[in-house]
Amino acid sequence: MKISNLVTLTTDFGLRDWFVGVMKGRILAQNPDCTLIDITHEITPQSVNQAQLVVKMLHELFDAFAIHLVVVDPGVGSSRRPIIVKKKQGLYVGPDNGVFSPLYHDDFTCYEIKNFTPKSLSHTFHGRDIFAPVARELSMGKDPELFGPIISDPVELEIPAIEKEGQNIYGEILYADNFGNLITNIPGDYLEKAELLCSKTFEISTFCSSYAEGVPANLCAIKGSHGFIEIFLINGNAKKHSMLDLGNEIILILRSNDL
């Protein structure tokens, strides 16, 4: 197995409290040579679906072999399993609640973390007590199979699927980034066949190939680097302008001659 001193962190903890710093301390205390990369700590609290999208991007776009620590864990302290997912591109450590679902569509091995005795164990902070120490030991070369048995039934949650009905494709908002751009679950390639993108609060007919093509004060749509249709407002905040949020419905209307 490859050994990596590179550990990434993705959580819904935010940076106001001590949680992220304590997790980093648990890693660096025994592996001070470890390199820590903050992917994001601004996942909407308890949003496993949103965290799935980040995991998908890590899997597809993160070039270096790394240990990816992902703690979005509304079931902390319950019977949900702590797991390690082994992929060719890296190792993923976190709760078995569906957050790693994008990893389960090609070769992977999933281990339940059973053979590990934490320094302390609370019912509310497994990021500190289990996941960070396990990520630390992996970064120091411990093989994931030593942490416990292989499991064949990890919890799998699909990113919400689009629905098609005639000229309409029904989707929803998956993620709002720091710029207020709204990422939908509608594949970006559909934009080439689109006539209109709409919701309960707006209609968009300006489809762009770059942000610079956006029309000031008008919501526009683009195929984002993540592969999905994204709604943006040049020099503005599409989330605030549209008054939409996660889970809100989006409808893409296709040109009739492209059906």
102-128 pLDDT tens trace: 999 889 999 999 999 988 899 999 999
Q: Is the pLDDT of residue 257 over 90?
A: no
Identify each DSSP E strand in 96-188 by its residue range: 109-112, 163-165, 168-176, 182-187
pTM: 0.86
Mean predicted confidence (pLDDT) in 186-212: 92
Residue 124, classed as helix, strand or coil, is: coil
Q: Is the pLDDT of residue 259 over 70?
A: no
Q: What is the pLDDT of residue 246?
A: 85
What the chain holds in terms of domains, given with CATH numbers, is 6-147 (3.40.50.10790), 163-258 (2.40.30.90)
For residues 159 and 14, which has the higher predicted lDDT (pLDDT)?
14
Cβ burial, residue 233 (10 Å; 0-12/13-18/19+): buried
